[in-house]
Amino acid sequence: MTGARVLPLTGVVRDYAWGRVGGISAALGQEPGDGPEAELWLGAHSGAPAKVVDGSGQWDDLAQWQESNGEDLPYLMKLLAAASPLSLQAHPSTEQARAGYAREEERGPARDAPDRSYKDPHAKPEVVVAVEDGFDALCGFRPVEEVLALLDALGGQVDAQGLETWRSRLTGSADPATGVRDAVAWLLSGDPAVEELVRALGEADLTGPAGGEAELVRLLAGHHPGDAGIAVAFMLNRVTLRAGEALWLPAGNVHAYLSGLGVEVMDPSDNVLRGGLTGKHVDVPELLRVLDFTPGPPPRLVPVEVAAGVRAYRPSTQASGADVPWQLLEVTGPAEVGTGSPSIALVLGGEFTVAAGADDAEDATLTLGRGGTCFVDRPASLRIEGQGRLFLATTPP
């Protein structure tokens, strides 16, 4: 068997409307484009497989590599540049994804239809690491006590009967998660009282304890006026990450990124169940089916320093991520890294040389500057030389 090869890789930029104008190009140190650049996909997902330079001519992209090798790349890596809020969303578990995909394969809609909820039979747990300060997100349900205090503050400023219904739904059960579920289900039900409530929130000049939410209401209403997701956002934790800080988003976690630049790694899936704050397909019943309504603090993920200049973001350190095989490494200096799968590297600062074998072996060494990406086509003991900031998606050896 030949040794591992380190091959140049070119990701695919997705131009979703919420992306920063020229955002991905700028992050990669390239000439910015004049349109929205939301995500750079680095993986084998059939929706946008990354292009690979393979001198043997066996394959042109990672989807072809995956098919020819008979193995699945266990992750999808992305660079995300958000200028405006993403949808209110969650992702299914493996069991939920398999059941939902089978159901839609049998009954429709077509796999590429815009109103399809399940694009594939896979879960989509994910980690996002802030590349720069100020990555802003809504993530997970706030403790009920915080929401009730906020509703109390709104009571003197928002003239809407829906506030009392909201409170009664939230407190109608001794189990906090059940109360949260009942409140969210009502807010997303299409009830005219919710429409009036959202309108009142948008028109109110929020002050005092509720004043901190005024900017959030303006932000969301500016992009999605009248959307019930604006009210749901009051029930979510708001998190602003500094560079290097991370969130762990397991199956069922409700979230909506608001703005920022981040690196994501996830299972290789495109299953997104949306409840609002979007012009895309919304599937409230299915979202309610998969959501984890347990309130609590934001699900931060603290990296583990595994060697000098190497930090590992590992979902497996969390109870809800015990079966997640992949990890994201951040490398800032010379390091030796063992991998248990093919790997993808992305350089966002400085220059690095990635070597997977003897220096004179064919395709075993590649030097990458800012914006450079590469694919290591099998498990290897990597030697990484250089200084800067390199992200490596792989599995532990």
Q: Which residues are annotated binding-site positions? A: 89, 91, 126, 255
Catalytic site residue 274? yes
Sign of CA dihedral 266, 272, 277, 278: positive
Token reading at 362: 């064919």
**Residue 302: CB partners within 8 Å, gap ≥ 6?**
246
Cα–Cα distance for residue pair 28/373, rounded to 1 Å = 10
Q: How far is CA 188 from the centre of its chain?
A: 22
The string over 211-239, giving b where at least 16 C-beta atoms fall within 10 Å of a residue's C-beta and e elsewhere, is eebeebbebbbeebeebbbbbbbbbbbbb
Token reading at 372: 């450079």
Q: Where do the H-state alpha helices sit in the chain? A: 23-27, 62-69, 94-107, 144-155, 162-170, 176-187, 192-203, 214-223, 229-233, 284-290
Q: How large is the greatest C-alpha to C-alpha distance in the chain, in angstroms?
A: 74
Annotated binding site for Zn(2+): 89, 91, 126, 255
Cα–Cα distance for residue pair 71/200, rounded to 1 Å = 53
Catalytic residue among 142, 274, 311, 389: 274
DSSP state letter for 182:
H
Catalytic residue ranges: 274
